[in-house]
Structure 1
């Protein structure tokens, strides 16, 4: 597996990975109504244009195995971890940890003192293992459907 910088040609594969991961992995923590709202096909076009710009602006990395993207992560210049998703077929293989290590190193190189993220119920244990603390529980509303996530932070040494 190789961790590399994001390239604009990666976008479609990343969006497909995102949608499949939510549908297969997050289903254990969110209802089918919540999953449908989260992956709503009407917002895919909007998501594509927003992510395209954010990925260019952020520190964005992909994990690639045999030419296929198996995970991705992106971090803002202010230290907010926007997204971390691993393909549903490649869960629990250390890919998220490798991507997170890359982002953490990048944050330190840019003298960031703290990382924040909004973690799903599913992702919360991962971030807790990496010394993030819950700041507060949050309720997000997508297409009129409420979902719980957690604002979390980690102080960098």
Structure 2
């Protein structure tokens, strides 16, 4: 059951622009709330979502990272960002658009972008929720990590994938 064969043709991928930021932040918060709730406590979800309040960080994402948007009917249904050509920083798909091949399309485009810069490997810090997807596309866990967000600890995984160019 390869999700890339069920790609929704109504989904378009495009580069993100500054005007996407508010919708991206909303998607970030709601995805954490709805999609990640099975893997994290309410306290952990609230701490994680608080990252949306860091305006400086998000402005930096928009100006210094490769931002890829998945859009359907003028609504952002997913996004992924690539920092310094080899680090997947943010990767979120709308709760109503899970299991439709959107993450695979975003990932494949991001990997192509990294290969254009002759990167040898991709890395990411991946949530418990996203780990199965990253493993499916060839990433391996380098180490389990405990991160502190506003005094709350969360588990995630340092993952990487060697790229064959």
Common fold: TM-score over 0.5:
yes
Three-state SS of the structure 2 residue aligned to 1:134 is: strand
1:114 aligns with 2:104: no
Q: Residue in 2 aligned with 1:144?
A: 151
Three-state SS of the structure 2 residue aligned to 1:103 is: helix
Q: Residue in 2 aligned with 1:128?
A: 135
CA distance in 2, matches of 1:44, 1:55: 13
RMSD of aligned residue pairs (Cα, Å): 1.0
CA distance in 1, matches of 2:41, 2:148: 14
Runs of 4+ in structure 1 over 2 Å off:
none
Deviation, 1:130, is 0.5
Three-state SS of the structure 2 residue aligned to 1:112 is: coil
Q: Residue in 1 aligned with 2:6?
A: none
- Of 19, 29, 41, the residue aligned with 1:31 is 41
Gaps of 5+ in 1: none
1:89 aligns with 2:96: yes
Gaps of 5+ in 2: 1-10
Deviation, 1:51, is 1.3
CA distance in 1, matches of 2:77, 2:85: 26
1:6 aligns with 2:13: no
Deviation, 1:38, is 1.1
Conserved 8 A contact 2:85-2:113:
no
CA distance in 1, matches of 2:65, 2:121: 16
Deviation, 1:76, is 1.2
- Of 54, 61, 83, the residue aligned with 2:68 is 61
Q: Residue in 1 aligned with 2:27?
A: 17
Deviation, 1:142, is 0.6
1:77 aligns with 2:84: yes
Three-state SS of the structure 2 residue aligned to 1:146 is: strand
Aligned pair in 2 of structure 1 residues 45, 34: CA closer, same or farther (>3 Å)? closer
- Per-residue CA deviation, residues 68-117 of structure 1 (Å, 9 max, x unaligned), is 00000001124010010001111111101000011000011111110000
